[in-house]
Structure 1
Amino acid sequence: MKSTIYKYPFTAILAQEDLKLCLLLNLVDPSIGGVLATGDKGTAKTTTVRALSQLMGEEFPFVNLPIGATEDRVLGSINLEVLINQKQTVIDKGLLAKANSGFLYIDEVNLLNDYLMDVLLDASASGGYNLEREGISQWQESRFCLVGTMNPEEGALRPQLLDRFGLSVTVNTPDQIAIRKKIAMLRLTYDSDPTLFYKQYEAEEQDIRDQVLRAKKRLHAIKIPDEVQEICARLTLKYQVEGMRADILLLKTVRAYAAFMNESQITEEMVHIIAPYVLAHRSKEYTPQKEEETPPDDSSSEQTSNEQQQTTANKDAFQLPQSVQSGLKFMTRHTAKKKEVSLDMLDQYIDGRNYETFVEEIAVSSSVKKYMATGTFEAIRKRITKRTQTNVVFLVDTSSSMTKNTQIAFIKGIIERTLMQYPGKKIQYAIVGLYQHTARIIQGFTTDSKQILKEVYSLRTGGKTNLGAAFFKVYELLKSISFKTVQLFVFTDGKINTGSGSPFSYAIETYKKYLSKIPQATIVDTENGFVKLGRSKEIAAQLQLKYLSINDL
């Protein structure tokens, strides 16, 4: 008899409590719609998801969709080999249909080809699809929780599919020595004897399984009070979330959380516990308040107000500064040739290589020719390559100090000139700016130059300089983007005056932790005037980034 091969136990996985909780909440209420886990390599994202199938047992549908799967394998098809060789019509059920009432898991979901993404979106929206093959039309039920894992350095995830994930989690590498030691030793123990290791956790696995099953039974008995409904609505309005999906998911997720925790009442605290999972990937405004901000003093507030009024008054009078004759400079690639996009004196560029992913499909002509020659049908498959785009991020310091000497006007002019002269369709632009002593994503990636210009014109100065928060927002923006395709331009005078602990050190540490893998980044020093502190130059030196003064433009 074949012996059982045990996967790594779900309950033995450490330092991934957010991901584990989100997966369990989807088991309690599958209508939540799944989980997207993004983060560093080697952080047990895939291990955690695969352990879930073992936790729930063989009766629970858990289907793995390979990123190179063909259309026939995903949707289903008539078995051509049986049809031709045995003259019988047999329908092979697709992976989407097999995942009905269970989990559909996609590792490296960001590398899935566009066609399969469209199929997933259609099935997710309608709960199934029509399988139409060789004169057969048949409805296939396909209601599943979509679970995806990805490394953001390896490519982008389409916004339409991103929104279909009910919850999202960012998985970070553990930074505590004791936890790292324990994780490593547990893995060594498992590798030595998987069966013995699993038996040590079998009781805990059963306890979690029972807890999920109990929660499912009591889920719809839990009432959602009016005050909780109002809190959820206020959150989605506060963070400017589009549509109603987030409101619905906040309520579903907090109800599932209460059921899983065996609580009969839903509290405000529960809403704030689950809110990041629902909102983080839906709102570019969302930033969890984990640290106390340095409150502005009265004089700073008065100064900010006056400067904002001055900026608003000058809005209609803004013109491109005479000294801004061109913008930045980088390289992109059109098909097999490099194409220089000139944006002034910054003599650096994004690596123009094309980053390829592969998908497979049946080569019908070759398959038929082989059948005619041999009398036996065998499907022959071919590989198709996909290419990615160049991504340019403008991080703009819009703090109060940028009003003086028209620095913000120069920045607007540089960006405007860049977009006017070189709107290249192969280039995506995004803008991150400082905002009320923290930061926000002003515009996500787009090739729409008019939209970028609209956001550039709306930039207003005010508040303090929290460059650490801005760096983290850039990281949030790049969660589903390959860092290899990114060029970052940071426009700042370097006068950092708010953030956690030492604001300057916080900014440096944040960049090193989250953005150090960006291959091309430039600090554009906007400091002007007779007396200069040179803080931007110091930032560039400490982070080993390229440096340019705006006076050189």
Structure 2
Amino acid sequence: MAFTFPFSALVGQDEMKLAILIAAIDPSVGGVLVFGDRGTGKSTAVRALAALLPKMNAVVGCAYQCDPVSPCADCRARLAGGSALKSHKVAVPVVDLPLGATEDRVVGALDLEKALAHGVKAFEPGLLARANRGFLYIDEVNLLEDHLVDLLIDVAASGENVVEREGLSVRHPARFVLVGSGNPEEGELRPQLLDRFGLSVEVRTPGDVVTRVEVVRRRDRFERDPEAFVAQWQKEEEKLRRRIVKARERVTSVEAGDAALERAATLCMAVGTDGLRGELTLIRAARALAAFEGDAAVGDVHLRRVATPALRHRLRRDPLDEAGSTVRVERVLAEQFGA
């Protein structure tokens, strides 16, 4: 049996962990972009959270793991044909999109085996189908080929994957939390894809001995006896899982009043964000955080905590200000909220 490192056992990287939690509570916040040093737990955090999340109901035999409450077109066709839809519990998927993946592997293509053996045109689902209702993880996302970037932008905007090729015409759900990681020294992300990420976080190698020692100690214990290590953190994992479930249930009822909306708009204007997606993401992320904390309404404390990851990648370039985007956002936060 394969064991996953517990999310609760991750040391440090609080901004990254919070961003991933928020995206899991409310996927409409958008994906999470994690830029920073290698070996800082980026992929470990994503897999740990997916393993922590409660299993989801899915239709048995559905290639897209659709929700029985909202069946996909294929499952509706099965219903119309008189077949009953059975459901079962499945783990939340985490799908890796390799840099060298072909477009056919990502979007899906003609099933050659069925075509040659039976003369039937059938669709073979790709990575986007497997990632539906889960996480699509792209390491070194800033090195992704342009044609795949264009494809991801379309799917992320629509929540559907449309395949028109080789006589096939297929449309299937492809809603997932997009998580990208990379090293900014190896190149920038295209602005169109950057804008599709709801939150952007920066991770750094721990600079103090105590934290570094604790990271190594926990990882070493996990690798030597993963079953015992996972059991040791089971109570913390269950506690966090219950908080996530409750947050999902209450997130739509969290109030974001005029005062919170005005504060969000003022912040975005002060830092100089492009478009209005900054305000929308800021409010959605703050609402998810409030739900996680058990609060009934969005307040300054929630806006302040999510403002930096929600806005740092949306700033216009200012040739007269050499400060980085993080510094610029934090400067405005200090002015608006006080030090």
Structure 2 length as normaliser, TM-score? 0.82
2:228 paired with 1:231: no
Q: Does 1:50 align with 2:47?
A: yes
Residues 244/475 of structure 1: CA separation in 2 closer, same or farther (3 Å cut)? closer
Structure 1 474/147 Cα, relative in aligned 2: closer, same or farther at 3 Å? Answer: closer
Within the alignment, does 1:258 sit opposite 2:290 as a pair? yes
Between the aligned partners of 1:40 and 1:5, the Cα distance in structure 2 is: 27
1:82 maps to 114
Deviations 1:233-286 (CA, angstroms, capped at 9, x unpaired)? 00111111111111111111100000001111321121111100111011147x
1:136 aligns with 2:133: no
- Out of 305, 315, 318, the position equivalent to 1:273 is 305
SS in 1 for 2:233: helix
Contact 2:315 2:325 survives alignment (8 Å): no
CA distance in 2 between counterparts of 1:238 and 1:33 reads 23
Rounded to whole Å, the distance in 2 between the matches of 1:49 and 1:152 is 20
Shift of 1:432: 4.5
The aligned runs of 1:399-438 (5 Å cut-off) are 432-433=319-320
Superposed CA offset, 1:24-64 (max 9, x none): 11111010111000001111111111212211254323222
Matched, 1:209 2:209: no
**Which residue matches 1:344?**
none
Aligned to 2:63: none
Matches within 5 A, 1:364-513: 432-433=319-320, 440-441=321-322, 470=323, 473=324
CA distances 1:190-221 after superposition (whole Å, capped 9, x unpaired): 11111111111122112111111110101111
Counterpart secondary structure, 1:213: helix
Q: Deviations over 1:331-355 (max 9, x none)?
A: xxxxxxxxxxxxxxxxxxxxxxxxx
Which whole-Å CA distance do the structure 1 matches of 2:118 and 2:222 have between them?
47
In structure 2, the residue matched to 1:22 is 19
Deviations 1:499-538 (A, max 9, x none): xxxxxxxxxxxxxxxxxxxxxxxxxxxxxxxxxxxxxxxx
- The within-5 A match list for 1:303-342 is none
Distance 1:476 1:156 in 2: 19
Give the alignment partner of residue 159 of structure 2, picking from 105, 112, 127: 127
1:115 and 2:147 aligned: yes
What is aligned with 2:187? 155
The letter for the 1-side match of 2:36 is G
Q: Note the residue ranges of structure 2 that are not aligned, 5 or more in a row.
A: 56-89, 329-339
Take 2:166 and 2:292, find their aligned partners in 1: how far apart are those partners?
Answer: 47
> Out of 83, 91, 96, which is 2:128 matched to?
96
> Which one-letter code corresponds to 2:131 in the other structure?
A
Larger radius of gyration: 1
**What stretches of structure 1 of length at least 5 have no aligned partner?**
286-430, 434-439, 442-469, 478-553
**2:308–2:326 contact (8 Å) kept in structure 1:** no
> What is the distance in 2 between the residues matched to 1:68 and 1:82?
26
For the residue of structure 2 that corresponds to 1:264, the secondary structure is coil
Give me the whole-angstrom Cα distance separating, in 2, the residues matched to 1:146 and 1:37: 11
Question: Which amino acid is 2:314 matched to?
Answer: R
Distance in 1, matches of 2:11 and 2:220, equals: 14
State the alpha-carbon separation in 2 of the partners of residues 231 and 474 from structure 1: 19
Tell me the equivalent position of 1:69. 101
Contact 1:432/1:474 (CA < 8 Å) preserved in 2?
A: no
Cα shift readout 1:453-496 (whole Å, capped 9, x = no counterpart): xxxxxxxxxxxxxxxxx4xx39989xxxxxxxxxxxxxxxxxxx
Match of 2:332 in 1: none
- Residues 6-37 of structure 1, C-alpha deviations (whole Å, 9 max, x = no match): 02111111111111111111111010111000
Residues 36 and 165 in structure 1, CA contact (< 8 A), matched pair in contact too: yes
The answer to whether the 8 Å contact 1:99/1:142 transfers is yes
Q: Which of 274, 277, 282 does residue 314 from structure 2 map onto?
A: 282
Alpha-carbon displacement from aligned partner over 1:313-362 (angstroms, at most 9, x marks no partner): xxxxxxxxxxxxxxxxxxxxxxxxxxxxxxxxxxxxxxxxxxxxxxxxxx
Asked if 1 retains the 8 angstrom alpha-carbon contact of 2:4 and 2:51, the reply is yes
| SS of alignment partner, residue 195 of structure 2 | helix
Letter matched to residue 110 of structure 2? I
- The AA in structure 1 aligned to 2:250 is R
- 1:247 to 2:279 alignment: yes
Task: Determine if contact 1:63/1:95 at 8 Å carries over to the other structure.
Answer: yes
State the aligned residue count: 293
For residues 374-429 of structure 1, what are the alpha-carbon distances to aligned partners after superposition, in whole Å with 9 as ceiling and x for unaligned? xxxxxxxxxxxxxxxxxxxxxxxxxxxxxxxxxxxxxxxxxxxxxxxxxxxxxxxx
Asked if 1 retains the 8 angstrom alpha-carbon contact of 2:312 and 2:325, the reply is no
Q: What is the alpha-carbon distance in structure 1 between the residues aligned to residue 45 and residue 144 of structure 2?
A: 21
- Say yes or no: does 1:182 pair with 2:238: no
Alpha-carbon distance, 1:173 to partner: 1.0
In the alignment, which residue of structure 2 is the partner of 1:32?
Answer: 29
Identity percentage of aligned residues: 42
SS in 2 for 1:166: strand
Q: 2:202 maps to what in 1? A: 170
Distance 2:170 2:199 in 1: 31
Distance 2:169 2:27 in 1: 28
Instruction: Describe the shift of the 1:475–1:20 C-alpha distance in structure 2 as closer, same or farther (beyond 3 A).
Output: closer
Deviation sequence 1:68-122 (CA, Å, 0-9, x none): 1111111111111332244333311121122222221111111111000000001
Give the conservation status (yes or no) of the 8 Å contact 2:121–2:168.
Answer: no
- Name the residue aligned to 1:13: 10
Q: 1:187 to 1:220 in 2, by over 3 A?
A: same
Q: Take 1:41 and 1:65, find their aligned partners in 2: how far apart are those partners? A: 18
- Preserved CA contact (<8 Å) 1:5 1:195: no
Give distance in 1, aligned partners of 2:297 and 2:50: 30
Q: Are 1:19 and 1:169, in contact at CA under 8 Å, matched by a contact in 2?
A: yes
Q: Which has the higher strand share?
A: 1
- Once residues 17 and 325 of structure 2 are traced to their aligned partners in structure 1, the CA distance between those partners, rounded to angstroms, is 26
